[in-house]
């Protein structure tokens, strides 16, 4: 596809908006229920003299580049529109300079774009078209009877360029557009089509001001000298007589401050040197420059202030974008920008006007606005799920604070807010629970692509998560436990101990915080599992084949339970005296009780699984096969892990031995001072368990990397920290003599191919005295039984199996920790489910894994979109679920250009199908980060092309219509030209017919057709 954007002519833009509104109740994907209308009547007077009805808007960036972007922003709640920066270099020249994809907003945001990718003239036209569209539609849709928004132009990057005829014309034409071609075109269209409107009339049309914008934000490149910046600002104020803000760089804070702040907040992996800090405008120079410019503006009766801040230049180290340097924004920029605001507000005693942009979102925007009092612009938050819809909440959060009276910056509030933001856990990188990409491995299909990644790709047992979350929220506990137990043989254990991969894939991660899915499962189990177990009836035996499961841990019991309830005769042999292995013998009682474990065990018992305890299997598989047709080994990982020290390994207490002693005997003799070496969940259990023992005075965790790299879930790490235990980071033990743990201090090195930083020794030594050192560096598998039975192992010593976990020996399976090393309960259960399905298929038995349908009203789902809502304690947490399996459409929300659209098409399962509009896409790549599949919607969805050039430049499946002919690229990549849609697949026929019949405005804007 081509990354070249094709602006939509004004008449097509308006026809599109009016037609979509009439048919769909939306405009460029913004549903009318999400249109923002200021109900209070309060207005904000900006320092530029504008009166606007909300304090928020898009920063100069992707959301203010095209007319439809600006219109979508306005409809959702934006009223201060910072137009995408223009400069002398434009059009094709800038497109060649910008690598694609150019946006990575997976968490904090990075980009490698800068000014508009249009020509300056095209950009100007877009801004004028949006201006007219907003005024007409605001009146027509009863949003506002008067102009209640303001533009702020952004220009760069040097004095020569700004003085050039191209940029000077741009500035002057925004100040007075009367004689411009596009202004006349827009006005003429509205005049000739006034009958299409019921509220907007000729009087309104005549009132439209030719003064589109009379304020400017100066954007300069990094390294621009102070003298140059001041010359440009002075020129704009003194000669152009235009109110001016200067966009400041966060580098003004100084390298040490920025580095320490980001490190302390968990963003230590963000790489940058002190180059830009030395090369950019210095604080001392900025202060004297600002003082002079304030005076100059006052003399000219104009406004002057600062825009805080520009994006922050950082190094590409983890293949974030195809560039060497990129620009950081979002929540990692937040502490730096608010620090700039505090620093400058103190210096100028609140007299320096500031417009804010740097990590603002619904969590903090009210406090930022209370402190600064001027418009706040955003980019990152509206690149995330919900997209432009987030403006609605942002506008409502600040509406009560709007004032038509100017006031100084509140210095005290700004300073307090800086301190709060830097120290508040919600702003720490690790608040995100170490979640990287939420994407899964599934192929993005051409049609019917909705999916909830929590259950489809996130959960190893495919728990029907959105369904039971809704049932729990509605107090339908009996039904909820039925849904849970369909896929989960241990609801209580997983309600307490699950590694909850589902939460790492939850869409709410990109809003505020993952749904507390595991907690909801436990609520259902506590409320209804006992009754559920009472009502279990043994299934009849449907096969004469018998199954032996070796090991009664979570995986073994799971496969036994799945198979028995589906009609197989199953026996479980366990060498220990009770079920659930590691869970019942090792995991601390403060995490799960014997009673809770027993509750899950009774499910398998009531189903008819036969258990034989104190029964170690010593027979060969060949002998066992005389009595059993299928053998499933699920014996766990019980061998000691590698020693954490090279010298004195005999003095190290193994984690499993320690935890076993405490769980089974209630005590362990470890002395007063204890160290735990490791950083997984077991290490956290050891730390917290040791601290609870009588006589223990202190416990420390020792880890050779930093907290961010700890394999333990963040909540487990947080528990250790909240209990006050010492954590030694970047400390690698090498010797323990029973008294002194000798260590070397480490430092983080360069990033490796996986994106993880290496560690290197600093050469500095550290001696730590401990009575006991517990090694929690992983358990190993005893593979002797596999070797004795000639089961094939791989080069790593792990059992080789098929994708269904069958070994080289027919009908012998291996699952769980004993297959490939210590893992998690839910992964073992997932493997158990796969084995069950494989055996049932071999026996020609149907499985009972029923899919439940628990629907939520579409209206309610759409209402939740674009709205941050913090987690809720208790059952109502389920209401935060966005029901992605019912309605996904994430790619339509996050596209700044509205190039991904959702259309109604009969004959499919999903509510809507996703179509990609090539002419509106610049390949920014943002939708690819949020699609829950492995694919990229802008590459993989059926694409509507507007020109032959764009079609030829693409590999997308899609079509170009020209008269009665269709140029089509089929699903297999073959290109055909046809007049008959019957030549296409049934799915493509349905999609194209639906577009032609109901969405004709997608096919080709008129002027592009005629060009």
Residue for token pair 């005893």: 782
DSSP tally for the chain: helices H, then strands E: 38, 35
Is the pLDDT at 1 greater than 70? The verdict is no
pLDDT digits (tens, 9 = 90+) for 126-165: 999 999 999 999 999 999 999 999 999 999 999 999 999 9
Residues 334 and 423 sit within 8 Å (Cβ to Cβ): no
Q: What percent of the chain has pLDDT over 70?
A: 99
C-alpha distances (whole Å) from 882 to each of 168, 555, 858 are: 48, 31, 10
Pick the CATH number of 652-775 from 3.30.565.10, 1.20.1600.10, 3.40.50.720, 3.50.50.60: 3.50.50.60
Q: Tell me, what's the pLDDT at 2?
A: 65
Give the pLDDT band (50/70/90) at residue 391: very high
SS3 557: helix
- Assign 356 to helix, strand or coil: strand
Q: What is the pLDDT of residues 207-235, one digit of tens each?
A: 999 999 999 999 998 899 999 999 999 99
Kindly list the domain boundaries of the chain, sorted by start residue.
35-425, 465-535+855-880, 546-638+781-843, 652-775, 890-1002
pLDDT score recorded for residue 436: 84
d(CA 22, CA 199): 15
Residues with Cβ within 8 Å of 200's Cβ and at least 6 positions away in sequence, in order, are: 136, 137, 139, 140, 190, 194
Contact 503, 521 (CB under 8 A): no
| 123-127, 315-319, 608-612, 701-705, range with the lowest pLDDT | 315-319
Say if residue 630's pLDDT is above 60: yes
Alpha-carbon distance values, 860 to 566, 855, 864, 881 (Å): 38, 11, 7, 11
Show the tokens assigned to 664. 């089974």
Q: Is 376 helix (H, G, I), strand (E, B) or coil?
A: strand
Contact criterion met (CB below 8 Å) for 941 and 914: yes
State which H helix or E strand residue 966 sits in.
strand 965-969
What is the average pLDDT score of the chain? 97
Residue 683: its H or E element: helix 681-691
- Banded pLDDT at 755 (limits 50, 70, 90): confident
Q: Do domains 35-425 and 546-638+781-843 have the same CATH topology?
A: no
Angle made by CA atoms 503, 509, 511, in degrees to the nearest 5: 145
Residue 283, pLDDT score:
98
b/e code 569-584 from CB counts within 10 Å (16+ = b): bbbbbbbbebbbbbbb
Residues 666, 589: Cα–Cα separation, whole Å: 10
Say if residue 275 is exposed, middle or buried (CB neighbours under 10 Å; 0-12, 13-18, 19+).
middle
Measuring CA to CA, which residue among 933, 852, 849, 917 is closest to residue 450? 933
Mean pLDDT of 704-713: 94
pLDDT at 345: 98
pLDDT (average), residues 18-31: 98
**Helix H or strand E segment including 734:** strand 731-736
Structure confidence by residue, pLDDT tens digits, 773-807: 999 999 999 999 999 999 999 999 999 999 999 99
Give 269-283 pLDDT, tens digit per residue. Answer: 999 999 999 999 999
Q: Which two tokens stand for residue 229?
A: 């910046």
How much is the pLDDT for 1011?
44
Q: Residue 434 pLDDT > 90, yes or no? A: no
Tokens of 974: 């073959």
CA distance 152 to 375: 11
pLDDT at 3: 75
Q: Interhelix angle for 334-347 vs 365-372, to 10°?
A: 20
Encode pLDDT of 180-195 as tens digits: 999 999 999 999 999 9
Answer for the pair 152, 216: CB distance below 8 angstroms, yes or no. yes
- CATH class of segment(s) 35-425: alpha beta
What DSSP element (H or E) covers 915? Answer: strand 913-917
CB neighbourhood size of 724 (10 A)? 9
Per-residue pLDDT for 176 more than 70? yes
For residue 152, the surrounding DSSP H or E stretch is strand 150-155
- 8 Å CB contact between 552 and 611: yes
For residue 309, whether the previous peptide bond is cis, meaning omega lies within 30 degrees of 0, is yes
Q: What is the assigned CATH class of domain 546-638+781-843? A: alpha beta
pLDDT at 435: 85
Please name the residue ranges forming H helices in 38-164. Answer: 67-76, 91-97, 120-140, 159-163
Structural tokens at position 337: 């920008």
Task: In whole angstroms, give the CA distance from residue 652 to residue 707.
Answer: 23
Of 884, 934, 944, 953, the closest CA to residue 914 belongs to 944
What DSSP state is assigned to residue 189?
H
- Which tokens hold the place of 362? 């619904």
Nearest-angstrom CA–CA distance, 178 and 767: 78
Q: What integer pLDDT is reported at residue 683 of this predicted model?
A: 98
Token pair of 463 as six digits: 């728990």
DSSP per position, 688-742:
HHHHTSTT--EEEEE-SS-GGG-SS-HHHHHHHHHTT-EEE-SEEEEEE-SSEEE
Helix, strand, coil shares, percent, the chain, to 5: 40, 15, 45
Note whether 45 and 79 are within 8 A (CB): no
First-to-last C-alpha distance (Å) of the chain: 19
């Amino acid at each position: 596809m081509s990354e070249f954007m094709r602006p939509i002519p004004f008449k097509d833009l308006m026809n599109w908006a009016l037609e979509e509104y009439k048919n769909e109740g939306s405009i460029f994907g913004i549903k009318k229920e999400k249109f923002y209308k200021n109900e209070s009547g309060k207005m904000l007077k900006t320092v530029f003299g504008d009166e606007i009805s909300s304090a928020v808007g898009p920063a100069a960036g992707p959301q203010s580049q095209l007319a439809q972007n600006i219109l979508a922003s306005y409809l959702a709640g934006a009223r201060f529109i910072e137009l995408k920066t223009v400069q002398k270099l434009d059009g094709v020249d800038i497109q060649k300079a910008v690598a694609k994809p150019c946006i990575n907003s997976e968490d904090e945001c990075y980009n490698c774009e800068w000014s508009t990718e249009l020509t300056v003239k095209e950009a100007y036209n877009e801004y004028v078209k949006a201006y007219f569209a907003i005024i007409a539609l605001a009146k027509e849709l009863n949003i506002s009877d008067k102009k209640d928004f303001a533009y702020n132009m952004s220009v760069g990057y040097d004095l020569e360029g700004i003085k050039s005829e191209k940029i000077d014309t741009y500035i002057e034409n925004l100040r007075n557009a009367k004689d411009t071609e596009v202004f006349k075109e827009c006005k003429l269209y509205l005049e000739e089509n006034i009958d299409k409107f019921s509220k907007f009339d000729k009087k309104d049309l005549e009132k439209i001001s030719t003064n589109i914008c009379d304020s400017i934000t100066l954007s300069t490149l990094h390294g621009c000298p102070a003298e140059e910046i001041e010359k440009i600002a002075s020129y704009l104020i003194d000669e152009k007589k235009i109110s001016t803000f200067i966009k400041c760089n966060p580098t003004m804070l100084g390298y040490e401050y920025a580095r320490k702040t980001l490190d302390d907040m968990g963003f230590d992996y963000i790489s940058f040197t002190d180059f830009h800090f030395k090369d950019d405008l210095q604080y001392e120079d900025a202060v004297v420059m600002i003082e002079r410019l304030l005076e100059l503006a006052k003399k000219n009766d104009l406004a002057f202030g600062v825009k805080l801040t520009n994006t922050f230049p950082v190094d590409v180290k983890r293949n974030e974008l195809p560039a060497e340097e990129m620009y950081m924004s979002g929540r990692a920029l937040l502490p730096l920008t608010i620090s700039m605001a505090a620093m400058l507000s103190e210096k100028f005693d609140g007299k320096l006007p500031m417009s804010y942009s740097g990590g603002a979102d619904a969590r903090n925007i009210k406090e930022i606005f209370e402190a600064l009092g001027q418009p706040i612009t955003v980019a990152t938050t509206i690149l995330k799920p919900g997209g432009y819809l987030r403006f609605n909440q942002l506008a409502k959060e600040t509406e009560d604070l709007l004032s038509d009276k100017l006031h100084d910056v509140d210095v005290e509030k700004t300073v307090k807010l800086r301190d709060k933001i830097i120290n508040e856990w919600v702003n720490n990188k690790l608040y995100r629970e170490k979640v990287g990409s939420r994407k899964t491995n599934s192929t993005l299909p051409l049609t019917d692509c909705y999916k909830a990644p929590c259950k489809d790709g996130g959960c190893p047992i495919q728990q029907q998560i959105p369904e039971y979350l809704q049932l729990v929220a509605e107090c339908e506990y009996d039904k909820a436990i039925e849904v849970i137990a369909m896929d989960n043989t241990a609801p209580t254990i997983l309600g307490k101990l699950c590694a909850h991969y589902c939460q790492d894939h939850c869409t709410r991660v990109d809003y505020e915080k993952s749904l507390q899915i595991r907690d909801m499962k436990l609520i259902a189990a506590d409320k209804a599992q006992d009754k559920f177990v009472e009502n279990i009836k043994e299934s009849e035996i449907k096969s004469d084949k018998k199954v032996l499961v070796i090991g009664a841990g979570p995986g073994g019991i799971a496969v036994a339970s799945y198979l028995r309830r589906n009609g197989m005769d199953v026996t479980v042999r366990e060498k220990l005296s009770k079920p659930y292995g590691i869970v019942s013998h090792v995991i601390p009682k403060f995490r799960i009780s014997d009673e809770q474990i027993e509750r899950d065990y009774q499910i398998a018992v009531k189903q008819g699984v036969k258990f034989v305890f104190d029964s170690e299997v010593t027979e060969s598989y060949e002998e066992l096969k005389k009595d059993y047709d299928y053998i499933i080994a699920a014996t766990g990982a019980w061998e000691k892990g590698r020693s954490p020290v090279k010298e004195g390994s005999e003095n190290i207490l193994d984690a499993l031995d320690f935890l076993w002693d405490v769980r089974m005997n209630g005590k362990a003799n470890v002395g007063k001072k204890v160290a735990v070496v490791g950083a997984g969940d077991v290490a956290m259990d050891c730390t917290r368990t040791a601290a609870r023992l009588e006589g223990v005075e202190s416990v420390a965790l020792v880890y050779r990397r930093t907290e961010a790299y700890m394999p333990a879930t963040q909540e487990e790490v947080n528990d250790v920290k909240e209990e006050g235990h010492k954590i030694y980071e970047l400390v690698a033990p090498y010797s323990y003599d029973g008294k002194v743990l000798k260590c070397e201090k480490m430092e983080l090195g360069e990033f490796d191919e996986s994106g993880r930083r290496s560690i290197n020794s600093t050469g500095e030594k550290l001696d730590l005295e401990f009575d006991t050192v517990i090694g929690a560096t992983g358990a190993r598998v005893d593979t002797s039984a596999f070797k004795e039975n000639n089961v094939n192992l791989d080069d790593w010593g792990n059992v080789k199996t098929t994708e269904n976990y069958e070994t080289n020996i027919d009908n012998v399976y291996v699952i769980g920790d004993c297959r490939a090393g210590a893992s998690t309960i839910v992964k073992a259960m997932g493997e158990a489910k796969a084995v069950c399905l494989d055996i049932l298929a071999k026996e020609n038995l149907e499985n009972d894994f029923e899919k439940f349908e628990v629907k939520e009203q579409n209206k309610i789902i759409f209402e939740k979109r674009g709205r941050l809502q913090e987690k809720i304690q208790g059952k109502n947490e389920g209401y935060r679920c966005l029901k992605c399996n019912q309605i996904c459409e994430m790619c339509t929300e996050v596209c700044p250009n509205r190039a991904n659209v959702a259309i109604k098409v009969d004959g499919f399962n999903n509510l809507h199908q996703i179509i990609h509009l090539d002419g509106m896409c610049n390949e920014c790549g943002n939708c690819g980060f949020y699609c829950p599949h492995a694919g990229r919607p802008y590459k993989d969805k059926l694409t509507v092309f507007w020109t032959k050039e764009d079609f030829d430049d693409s590999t997308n499946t899609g079509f170009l219509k020209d008269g009665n002919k269709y140029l089509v690229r089929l699903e297999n990549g073959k290109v055909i030209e046809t007049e008959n849609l019957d030549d296409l697949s049934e799915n493509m026929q349905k999609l194209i017919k639906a577009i032609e019949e109901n969405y004709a405005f997608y096919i080709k804007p008129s002027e592009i057709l005629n060009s």
